[in-house]
Structure 1
Amino acid sequence: MKLPECEFIQVVRSTPLISIDLVVKDTNGNYLLGQRTNRPAQGYWFVPGGRILKDESIKEAFIRLTMEELGVSIPESQAKFIGVFEHFYPDNFSDSAFSTHYVVLGYELLADINLDSLPKGQHTQYGWFSKDVLTVSENVHLHTKWYVQK
Structure 2
Amino acid sequence: MIPLLPTNTFLQAIDATPLVAIDLIVGDEAGGYLLGQRTNRPAQHFWFVPGGRIRKNERLDDAFQRIVEMELGISGITRESAALLGVYEHLYEDNFSGTPGISTHYVVLGYRLPHPANLVSLPAEQHDAYCWMRSGDILANATVHPNTQAYFR
Would the aligned equivalents of 1:27 and 1:110 in 2 still touch at CA under 8 Å? no
| 1:136 counterpart (137, 140, 143) | 140
Would the aligned equivalents of 2:27 and 2:33 in 1 still touch at CA under 8 Å? yes
Mind listing any 5+ residue stretches in structure 2 that lack a counterpart? none
Cα distance in 2 between the residues matched to 1:57 and 1:148 = 27
- Percent identical residues: 51
Q: 1:44-99 CA distances to partner (integer Å, 9 max, x unpaired)? A: 00000000001101100000000000001211011000110000000000014110
- What's 1:82 paired with? 85
Cα distance in 1 between the residues matched to 2:47 and 2:16 = 27
SS of the counterpart of 2:85? strand
Measured on the aligned residues, the alpha-carbon RMSD in Å equals: 1.3
Q: TM-score, normalised by structure 1?
A: 0.95
Matches within 5 A, 1:1-150: 1-73=3-75, 74-97=77-100, 98-112=102-116, 117-149=121-153
Amino acid corresponding to residue 150 of structure 2 in structure 1: W
Cα distance in 2 between the residues matched to 1:95 and 1:80 = 34
Cα distance in 1 between the residues matched to 2:118 and 2:131 = 10
Amino acid corresponding to residue 77 of structure 1 in structure 2: E
Amino acid corresponding to residue 86 of structure 1 in structure 2: E
Residues matched between the structures, number = 149
Q: TM-score, normalised by structure 2?
A: 0.93
Would the aligned equivalents of 1:26 and 1:113 in 2 still touch at CA under 8 Å? no
Cα distance in 2 between the residues matched to 1:110 and 1:118 = 16
Cα distance in 1 between the residues matched to 2:118 and 2:74 = 11
**Greater than 3 Å deviation, 4+ residue runs:** 112-116
Cα distance in 1 between the residues matched to 2:99 and 2:92 = 10
Q: 1:9-60 CA distances to partner (integer Å, 9 max, x unpaired)? A: 1001110000000011111221000000000000000000000001101100
SS of the counterpart of 2:35? strand
SS of the counterpart of 1:111? coil
Per the TM alignment, residue 112 of structure 1 is displaced from its structure 2 partner at its CA by: 4.6
